[in-house]
Amino acid sequence: MMCGACAKGLAFAKSLGVPATVVADAGHANGRRMRDYGGFGDAKSTKNALLIETGQHFSKKSEHVALDIAARFLVATETVTGADVSRFLSREQPVAQHCLQVTDPVIANSMDFSFTDDFRGLERIAHAGTVIARDAEREILTPYDNCVLIQPSLRHLGQGVTVVRLAKALDL
């Protein structure tokens, strides 16, 4: 789940109890999200929004994740009771949530960009200074210990495109 950069988004994500991973970020130039506009991105506004990644669009599991989080949203906003939406709520006990604060985007400067491993996302790189990618002659290094990779992808590779975001773990 992406909760935005405001504390209210993180608190709202915590109130839902799922998913296990919550990413706090200010968005990025390659893809502003609805929750980045207007009152949603204003800490003083009561408007609040979250973005949930449910999985592959064609996956049956994605449907269950979407229905579960929508039901939790309706309960958290006191629109309905849990009993009203119980058939949509997952029967699995939620695991403890953890939050990741995005600190740095990694933006490709060339089409000669490659990762050093088959990163899929949420990998925790133990040591600062670890090479995680190369952009032509430039090495991309982790800036701190326990750096977490958020959504590494070369699917839309191009100059100026964000290919991964780097994050630190926060306590919820």
Instruction: Examine the pLDDT at 112 and tell me if it is beyond 70.
Output: yes
Amino acid at 168: K
pLDDT for res 49 = 87
pLDDT for res 6 = 86
pLDDT for res 133 = 98
Contact 20, 95 (CB under 8 A): yes
Q: Which of 19-33, 46-60, 150-164 has the highest mean pLDDT?
A: 150-164
Region of poorest pLDDT, from 24-33, 43-52, 75-84, 152-161: 24-33
Region of poorest pLDDT, from 26-30, 43-47, 63-67, 82-86: 26-30
Is residue 44 packed enough to be buried (19+ CB in 10 Å), middle (13-18) or exposed (0-12)? exposed
Region of poorest pLDDT, from 51-55, 148-152, 159-163: 51-55
User: pTM for this structure?
Assistant: 0.85
The beta strand positions in 12-62, using DSSP E, are: 21-24
Overall average pLDDT of the 125-141 stretch:
97
pLDDT for res 31 = 66
pLDDT for res 29 = 63
Q: Which of 53, 60, 45 is nearest to 18 (CA)?
A: 53
Residues in the chain: 172
Distance CA 156, CA 116 (A): 18
* Rounded CA Rg of the chain: 18
Which residue has 């029967």 as its token pair? Answer: 91
Q: Under 8 Å CB-to-CB from 145, ≥6 apart: which residues?
A: 126, 127, 128
Is residue 137 packed enough to be buried (19+ CB in 10 Å), middle (13-18) or exposed (0-12)? exposed
pLDDT for res 68 = 95
Which residue has 């950069």 as its token pair? Answer: 5
